[in-house]
Amino acid sequence: MNAKIENVVKKIADENNRATFTEFLTALEAEFPELEGNVKYSQPMYEAHGTFIIGFKPAKAHFSIIPEAPAAEKFKAEIETLGLEFTDTGKVFKVKWAQEIPFALVKKMVAFQLEDKMDATTYFRK
């Protein structure tokens, strides 16, 4: 995990939540070494070949997983089956700190994004 992301993670007040989030991001980076971690909009974001792949935003009671709309739509049923709550945008969903992190789902989303955006020429989809 790079220093920029570490600085965001350090701001998570609860020590257990901070450790959980660190383990999650470390596992994600190990699974997808081609991802480049960055901080934009005060949240950890992961990019590949200059385009956004997925982002995360820690909060007091949960953290948000922020894919782009096509990934959220593709995996909507699985997200709902896991009991995860969408925000009002329908593109971002929350994982409460007490819930199990849906790592298998996140891996599918990242793999989808990497393949779907292989030829992307912009950071976000238009």
Instruction: Please tell me the pTM assigned to this model.
Output: 0.93
**Neighbour-count burial of 121, counting CB atoms closer than 10 A to its CB (0-12 exposed, 13-18 middle, 19+ buried):** exposed
Q: Buried b vs exposed e over 64-98: b needs ≥16 C-beta within 10 Å?
A: bbbbbeebbebbeeebeeeebeeeeeebbbbbebe
**126 residues of the chain, pLDDT tens digit each:** 899 999 999 999 999 999 999 999 999 999 999 999 999 999 999 999 999 999 999 999 999 999 999 999 999 999 999 989 888 777 899 999 999 999 999 999 999 999 999 999 999 987
Please, are residues 105 and 75 in contact by the beta-carbon 8 Å criterion? yes
